[in-house]
Amino acid sequence: MKPTHPTNFGSVDAAMATIESAVGDGPYICGDKFTAADVPVGSYLDFSMQVGMFENSPTIDRYIARLKARPAVLSS
């Protein structure tokens, strides 16, 4: 199921393309450093992919994998 309805921020496709662009260049949403922005964005994307809200994206899959490989996540 791929949502295509418009949101207050444009389309879901446009939002996903923006996120993919942000995490495609650097390991994290703001570039080379993990920031507080990665916590809600990563959590939302991970949950959304797990329940099928969005189609899988190799770029986002790699981003989520990087977040899950962080030492704090592995030790929890």
3-state SS record for 11-60: EHHHHHHHHHHHHHHCCECCECCCCCCHHHHHHHHHHHHHCCCCCCCHHH
Q: Give 42: exposed, middle or buried? Use CB within 10 Å, 0-12, 13-18, 19+.
A: buried
Tell me if the pTM is above 0.75. Answer: yes
Structure tokens at 10: 């444009």
Q: To the nearest whole number, what is the mean pLDDT of the chain?
A: 85
User: What digits encode the pLDDT tens for the residues 18-53?
Assistant: 889 888 878 999 889 999 999 999 999 999 999 988
> Is the distance from CB of 38 to CB of 29 less than 8 angstroms?
yes
| Residues 67-74, mean pLDDT to the nearest whole number | 91
